[in-house]
C-alpha cells in the first residue's frame, strides 16, 4: 500500500494534500483492497484530480477504483458551479454508461424450461457486438430529437410507458441538451445505433432475486425472493465516444489559456461558467439523453422477446422498471458544504448516484426508501440492488460504487482462460451465455473482475448506500 495513506476508519483512507493538491483525497476501501502496486496509478489520479480549480471537500474514490484516463474509474469529484471546472475526463468516453433493472411477475422455475429459447431470442433480436447497428434508422433531425428528449423521445414513439420516466434518473432527460454543440460526426454515428447493446462489458442479463436484505425497501422496489429480473448495461454508443473525443480535442487547446498546469493532458477541462464549459456540458447532456433512450428501447425490445417466447400478455409478465442509473456523468446538484447549500457540478466516473430518502429528485414511490442503486457484478457471480443514504449526501456528494472493477487485463484474462470453455463452466453453474465477440467471453470471465460482494460490503459498511437485494444471473447476452 502507498505509505502516505492515512487511515480514517476501517473503510476510509485519506490521501493527504501534497504539492498542487487543493484538497485531500479520500478512498473508500479495505486495507487489503489497497494492497499491491496496482493501486498506485489510480491513487496518483485521485491526487491529480485534487489539483483542479474549484474542487470541493475532497477528491473521492469508491472501492471499485481502478486506473482510468485522467480521473480514476470509481472517482467522484464536485466543483463549485461558479468557480470550478468541468472535465470530459471526469465523465469518460461512454457518457451515461449505466444500468437498468426491471422486475417480472415470474419465478425461476416458470422460465427455466424456456430459458435457452429466451436467451437465444434475446441474442438474436437485441443487436450486440462491435459497432452493432439496430433496426431503428434515424435521420439527422430525428437524432437531434433523441438528444433533446432522451427516454421521453422513446416513450413518445411507443417504446415505453410514461411511468418508466419516473423510475429513471433525471426522468431520462437531462436539461440543456443542445444538439447544435454536437459534431456532424457524432450525429452520424448516432443514426444507426439506437437500441443496440454494444460490446465489451455491456450486457443483458436475466437474473433471479437470491437474497433480500431489507424487506421493506425490497417490497417498495417490487423485489421478492425467487423472482426473475432483467438487467441491462449499456451507454451512449459511438455518439457518446465521439462527443467525448471532440470535447477533449477542443478542451486540450482551450485549457492552455487558463493559466494552470495540468498534471495529465487527459484532465483537459474548462470553467463551468465559460463558453467552452457550457459547450461540453450541453453536448454531454445530449449523449446522456441518447443513452437513456437507448436503454429504454433495449428494455422495450427485451420485453417483446419475453412476451413472444413465453407466449404471455404484458399483465402476466409484469415487467416493471425498478430504476435506471447512470454511472458516467457530470451533473448540476445542490449539496450542503460546511453547513451551507451550494450548487456544484458532481463528476461521477464509474460511480453511481445514491440519493437518500426524502430527496426531491426522487419520485414519490421512493421517497421513503431512497434511490435504488443498481450494481452489476461479473457474469458468473451476482449483482446487487442497494438504496441511497443520507450519509452519502454528507460524505460523497450522494455517490457510491458502480460495479466490480477489473483486476485482470484483457490479455491476462485471455491467458488465464486458455484451454477452458468459459461458457461451459458458466453453464455448469446454471448460467446460459450467448456472446458476439471472438474474445469477449475470455476477456469478461468472472476472474477478470474484483469480487463485487467485497465492493458492495465496503459501501454498505461505510454507510454510503445499503444492501437491499442480491441477484444471481441465469442467462447472459454479451456484446
Partner 1 sequence: MSKKYKFIDHTADFGMQVFGSDSQELFTNAALALFDVITEMDVLKGLDSCNITVSGEDWPDLMINWLREVLYLWNGKEMLVKSVQILSLSENKISAKIYFDAYKPDRHIINTEIKAVTYHQIQVKSSPSGWKAQIIFDI
Positions marked active-site: 402
Written as nine digits, the cell of 330 is: 457530470
Among 99, 146, 174, 268, binds partner 1 (CB under 8 A): 268
How far apart are alpha carbons 474 and 264 in whole angstroms?
A: 42
| 67 versus 81: smaller Cβ distance to partner 1 | 67
> CA 89, 234, 201: angle at the middle one, nearest 5?
80
Decide whether 64 or 395 has the Cβ nearer to partner 1. 64
Judged by CB under 8 A, does residue 412 bind partner 1? Answer: yes
Judged by CB under 8 A, which of 93, 153, 221, 397 binds partner 1?
A: 93
The radius of gyration of the chain from alpha carbons, rounded to an integer in Å, stands at 21
Q: Under rule CB under 8 A, which residues in 288-307 are in contact with partner 1? A: none
Task: Select from 141-149, 270-278, 329-337, 403-411 the region that touches partner 1 (CB under 8 A).
Answer: 403-411
In angstroms, the Cα distances linking 53 to 76, 78, 87, 174, 463 are 15, 11, 11, 25, 29
Give yes or no for residue 8 binding partner 1 (CB under 8 A). no
Q: Does the footprint of partner 1 cover residue 139 (CB under 8 A)?
A: no
Print burial letters for 62-84: b (CB count within 10 Å at least 16), e (below 16): bbbbbbbbbbbbbbbbbbbbeeb
Contact by Cβ (8 Å): 408, 416: yes
* Per-residue cell: 375: 450494481
Residue choice 406, 470, 472, 478 for contact with partner 1 (CB under 8 A):
406
Residue 94 near partner 1 by CB under 8 A: yes
**Quick one: which of 117, 142, 264, 461 contacts partner 1 (CB under 8 A)?**
264
Q: Kindly report the number of other CB atoms within 10 A of residue 384's CB atom.
A: 26
Least Å distance, CB 437 to partner 1, is 8
**Residue from 185, 332, 391, 423 in contact with partner 1 (CB under 8 A):** 185
Q: Each residue of 187-205: b (16+ CB within 10 Å) or e? A: bebbbbbbbbbbbbbbbbb
Q: Is 124 in the site for partner 1 (CB under 8 A)?
A: no
Q: Using the rule CB under 8 A, is 249 a contact of partner 1?
A: yes
Rule CB under 8 A: say whether 199 interacts with partner 1. yes
CA distance 97 to 350: 9
**Binding residues for partner 1, how many (CB under 8 A)?**
40
Query: In whole angstroms, what is the distance from residue 356 CA to residue 335 CA?
Result: 12
Shortest CA distance to 71 belongs to which of 91, 51, 96? Answer: 91
> Torsions phi, psi of 330, nearest 5?
-125, 130
Candidate residues 5, 46, 220, 248; the one interacting with partner 1 per rule CB under 8 A = 248
List 130, 140, 337, 421, residue binding partner 1 (CB under 8 A): 130
Considering the rule CB under 8 A, would residue 245 count as an interface residue with partner 1?
Answer: yes
* 172 vs 405, beta carbon nearer partner 1: 405
For partner 1, the binding residues in 53-72 under the rule CB under 8 A are: 66-70
CB of 438 to partner 1, least distance (A): 6
Provide φ and ψ at 241, rounded to 5°.
-60, -40
Q: Contact between 253 and partner 1 (CB under 8 A)?
A: yes
Exposure b/e, 124-150, CB count within 10 A at least 16 = b = eebbbbeebbbebebeeebbbbbbbbb
**Span from 51-59, 216-224, 417-425, 434-442 in contact with partner 1 (CB under 8 A):** 434-442
CB of 343 to partner 1, least distance (A): 30
Query: Which residue's C-alpha cell is 422455475?
Result: 109
Q: Which of 9-17, 241-249, 318-326, 365-373 is the region at the interface with partner 1 (rule: CB under 8 A)?
A: 241-249
Does 434 engage in binding with partner 1 (CB under 8 A)? Answer: no
Query: Which of 318-326, 353-361, 408-416, 455-463 is the region at the interface with partner 1 (rule: CB under 8 A)?
Result: 408-416
Shortest CB 239 distance to partner 1, Å:
11
**What contacts 24+ positions apart, CB below 8 Å, involve 270-273?**
270/85, 270/86, 270/87, 271/53, 271/54, 271/83, 271/84, 271/85, 271/86, 272/54, 272/79, 272/81, 272/82, 272/84, 272/85, 272/86, 272/345, 273/81, 273/82, 273/83
| 408 binding partner 1? (CB under 8 A) | yes
- Asked if 265 interacts with partner 1 (CB under 8 A), we say yes
Q: Which is nearer to partner 1, 292 or 449 (CB)?
A: 449
Q: Does 242 bind partner 1 (CB under 8 A)?
A: yes
Q: Cα(168)–Cα(297) distance, rounded to whole angstroms?
A: 13
Measured from the CB atom, the residue of 48 and 371 that comes closer to partner 1 is 48
Shortest distance, position 149 Cβ to partner 1, whole Å: 24
Which residues of this protein are in contact with partner 1, per CB under 8 A?
38, 66-70, 73, 93-94, 130-131, 185, 188-189, 198-200, 238, 241-242, 244-245, 248-249, 252-253, 264-266, 268, 406-412, 437-439
Amino acid at each position: 500500500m502507498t505509505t502516505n495513506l492515512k487511515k480514517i476508519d476501517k473503510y476510509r483512507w485519506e490521501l493527504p494534500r501534497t504539492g498542487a493538491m487543493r484538497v485531500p483525497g479520500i478512498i473508500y476501501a479495505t486495507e487489503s483492497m489497497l494492497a499491491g502496486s496496482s493501486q498506485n496509478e489510480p491513487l496518483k489520479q485521485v491526487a491529480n484530480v485534487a489539483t483542479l480549480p474549484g474542487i470541493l471537500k475532497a477528491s473521492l474514490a469508491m472501492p471499485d477504483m481502478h486506473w482510468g484516463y485522467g480521473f480514476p474509474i470509481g472517482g467522484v469529484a464536485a466543483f463549485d458551479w461558479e468557480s470550478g471546472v468541468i472535465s470530459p475526463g471526469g465523465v469518460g468516453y461512454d457518457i451515461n454508461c449505466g444500468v437498468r433493472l426491471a422486475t417480472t411477475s415470474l419465478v425461476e422455475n416458470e422460465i427455466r424450461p424456456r430459458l435457452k429459447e429466451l436467451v437465444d431470442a434475446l441474442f438474436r433480436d437485441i443487436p450486440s457486438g462491435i459497432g452493432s447497428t439496430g433496426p431503428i434508422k434515424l435521420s439527422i433531425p430525428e437524432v437531434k430529437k433523441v438528444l433533446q428528449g432522451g427516454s421521453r423521445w422513446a416513450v413518445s414513439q411507443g417504446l415505453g410507458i410514461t411511468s418508466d420516466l419516473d423510475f429513471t434518473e433525471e426522468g431520462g432527460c437531462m436539461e440543456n441538451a443542445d444538439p447544435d454543440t454536437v459534431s456532424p460526426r457524432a450525429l452520424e454515428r448516432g443514426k444507426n445505433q439506437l437500441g443496440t447493446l454494444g460490446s465489451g462489458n455491456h450486457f443483458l442479463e436475466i437474473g433471479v432475486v437470491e437474497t433480500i436484505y431489507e424487506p421493506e425497501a425490497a417490497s417498495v422496489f417490487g423485489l421478492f425472493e425467487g423472482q426473475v429480473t432483467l438487467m441491462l448495461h449499456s451507454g451512449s454508443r459511438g455518439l457518446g465516444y465521439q462527443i467525448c473525443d471532440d470535447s477533449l480535442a477542443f478542451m486540450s487547446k482551450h485549457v492552455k489559456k487558463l493559466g494552470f498546469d495540468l498534471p495529465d493532458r487527459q484532465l483537459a477541462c474548462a470553467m463551468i461558467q465559460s463558453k467552452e464549459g457550457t459547450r461540453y456540458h450541453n453536448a454531454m447532456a445530449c449523449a446522456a439523453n441518447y443513452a437513456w433512450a437507448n436503454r429504454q428501447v433495449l428494455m422495450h425490445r427485451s420485453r417483446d422477446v419475453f412476451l413472444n417466447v413465453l407466449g404471455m400478455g404484458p399483465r402476466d409478465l409484469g415487467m416493471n422498471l425498478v430504476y435506471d442509473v447512470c454511472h458516467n456523468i457530470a451533473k448540476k446538484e445542490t449539496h450542503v458544504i460546511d453547513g451551507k447549500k451550494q450548487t456544484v457540478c458532481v463528476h461521477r466516473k464509474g460511480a453511481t448516484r445514491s440519493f437518500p430518502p426524502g430527496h426531491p429528485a426522487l419520485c414519490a414511490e421512493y421517497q421513503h426508501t431512497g434511490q435504488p442503486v443498481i450494481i452489476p457484478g461479473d457474469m458468473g457471480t451476482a449483482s446487487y440492488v442497494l438504496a441511497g443514504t443520507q450519509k452519502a449526501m454528507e460524505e460523497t456528494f450522494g455517490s457510491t460504487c458502480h460495479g466490480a472493477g477489473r483486476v485482470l487485463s484483457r490479455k491476462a484474462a485471455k491467458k488465464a482462460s486458455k484451454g477452458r470453455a468459459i461458457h461451459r463452466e458458466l453453464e455448469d453453474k446454471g448460467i446460459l451465455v450467448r456472446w458476439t465477440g471472438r474474445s469477449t467471453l475470455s476477456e469478461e470471465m468472472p476472474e477478470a473482475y474484483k469480487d463485487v460482494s467485497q465492493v458492495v460490503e465496503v459501501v454498505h459498511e461505510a454507510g454510503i448506500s445499503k444492501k437491499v437485494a442480491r441477484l444471481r444471473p441465469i442467462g447472459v447476452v454479451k456484446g
